[in-house]
Amino acid sequence: LHTTTKLNNGVEMPRLGLGVWKTDNTTAKQSVIDALKHGYRMIDVAKQYGNEAGTGEGIKEGLDAIGLNRKDLFVTTKIFNGDQGYDSTLHAFEGQLKRLQLSYVDLLLIHWPVDGKYIDTWRAMEKLYHDGKVRAIGVSNFNNERMDNLLAHANVTPAINQMEFNPLGQDADIVKHDGHLGVQVEAWSPLGGGASLSNPTINKLAEKYGKSAAQIILRWDWQRGIVTIPKSTHEKRIVENSDIFDFELSDEDVETINKLDEDKRTLTYDMFAWHNPKGAPDDVDKWDD
């Protein structure tokens, strides 16, 4: 669980962490404390989730409870669509650090590629990187075209592209392209928001290996070299999702899961990557202190 992957700037990132999307502050806090207690060393949050404050409290209390320091933990957050642009990114990030009660984050991502703005956002993130406020910078939900466009303007190559990635939606083209570029792929919704868990093939494999469907999927991520951040608010599942190191999928079974790809997505660029995304009103004050 503490195994890391070396990002393209040399920073070590744990390969499995806790995601806190779709949880309120109180629940996020408790999930983070539970995860830290059970050995997780990486937490993925975003301003857009509206729970950076609870996550920050969880980090503080969780680290105290297990006697570890900030440097023992890898924290990711993301720039909200409504904050994109140079000055607004720098300003918003200060508020995010305050909410998280942190002096730096390990990884800062562009949450969605807001066209016409993501290059300026990236420049601001390069400044934060050079100023030592973030240890690595990356993107999320970038297709190959936008990735190439960003690279044409960037001084720092993104360390990460965080994508929706699960057995039913594998974005094979992006995984391949990012691999060539040295950009580590990270899976959001690795369990397909729960949908992949009921897939019959996954369940057959679960029976074969004597593990749960979630464990089969997360082990597949692991063997594919994809960093993964399953979300659960249940302590028992948080433990279950990290218990994937006592078995190995055969190459054949990895391939069987590879073949389940239906190019399924729950969110698309068109639904989300605009200035005022549905479900996340452009009401930045709501989250700012």
List interacting residues with ligand A2P (CB under 6 A): 19, 189-194, 197, 212, 214, 230-234, 237, 240-241
Comparing CB distances to ligand A2P, the nearer of 113 and 167 is: 167
* Annotated catalytic residue, options 40, 49, 118, 129: 49
Q: What is the dihedral of CA 115, 22, 188, 271, to 10 degrees?
A: -30
* Cβ 22 to ligand A2P shortest distance, Å: 7
- At residue 185's C-alpha, the angle toward residues 264 and 36, to 5°, is 100
Cα–Cα distance between 93 and 88 in angstroms, integer? Answer: 8
Nearer to ligand A2P, 177 or 231 (CB): 231
Q: Give least dist CB 164 to ligand A2P, A.
A: 9
Shortest reach from residue 233's CB to ligand A2P, in Å: 4
Q: What 3-state class would DSSP assign to 6?
A: strand
State the DSSP string of 104-150: -EEEEEESS--TTTHHHHHHHHHHHHHTTSEEEEEEES--HHHHHHH
In the complex with ligand A2P, the residue whose CB is nearer, 67 or 200, is: 200
187 bridge partner residues: 163, 228
Cross-strand bridge partners of residue 5: 13
Per the annotation, the verdict on 49 as an active-site residue is yes
Q: Give CA separation, 86 vs 93, 127, 130, in Å.
A: 11, 10, 15
Q: Nearest approach, Cβ of 224 to ligand A2P (angstroms)?
A: 15
Residues 75/59, Cβ–Cβ less than 8 Å? yes
Taking the least distance from each CB to ligand A2P, the nearer of 17 and 85 is 17
Q: Of 19 and 82, which has the nearer Cβ to ligand A2P?
A: 19
CB of 192 to ligand A2P, least distance (A): 6
Parallel/antiparallel/unpaired status of strands 4-6 and 12-14: antiparallel
Phi-psi region of 139 (alpha: psi -120 to 50; beta: other; left: phi over 0): beta
Which residues are marked as active site?
Answer: 49
